[in-house]
Amino acid sequence: MTVAQTFLGLLESQPRHGYDLKRAYDERFGHGRPLHYGQVYATLSRLLKQGLVEVDGVEPGDGPERKRYAITDAGVTDVRRWLSHPEKPDLYLQSTLYTKVILALLTGRSATEILDSQRAEHLRLMRELTQRKTRGDLADQLVCDHGLFHLEADLRWLELTAARLDDLARTVAR
């Protein structure tokens, strides 16, 4: 997800200050990874230069003046175009976990320990997401489901790899 496109989408509903954009982003999309203020204002600066947003007003504040940003017609067109194009699905063909398993086999280390450790970490995160899902609103439930489904697919791969580890070790040794 691009921060710039998300800001444009948030600005479509109403003009906002950078602080308000950050708060809205963090509440709806941050999920434990809040934006840094530097990223907020750097993104807004780029959007201004590209003509996708404009300064809608300036108000005095305790520190620097507070600028309120509004989306331009070009920004609305940009969001419409972005929303209409499907995202490329991630294939994960070059995952770090796969690399670790192969390198463990190549170097005589225990690939089973790597798989077991990763399985435990996936299960821990699944429990965390499941708890969060029970406390969240519908939007939070959907984002948790998305994460859970991906973790379930990873667990299936971990189990399949563990079941085929002897064959994989022979293949890698050749």
Q: Indicate the residue type of 169.
A: A
Could you tell me the pLDDT band of residue 1, with boundaries at 50, 70 and 90? low
Could you tell me the pLDDT band of residue 72, with boundaries at 50, 70 and 90? very high
Q: What digits encode the pLDDT tens for the residues 54-71?
A: 999 888 877 778 899 999
pTM of the model: 0.69
Q: Which residues pair with 69 in a beta bridge?
A: 16, 55
pLDDT of residue 94: 65
Look at 2 and 126; give whichever has higher pLDDT.
126
pLDDT of residue 124: 96
**Cα–Cα distance list, 1 to 6, 32, 51, 117, 152 (Å):** 8, 15, 21, 29, 22
SS3 content of the chain, % helix, strand, coil (to 5): 70, 10, 20
pLDDT of residue 155: 94
Q: What digits encode the pLDDT tens for the residues 5-53?
A: 999 999 999 999 999 999 999 988 887 788 999 999 999 999 999 999 9
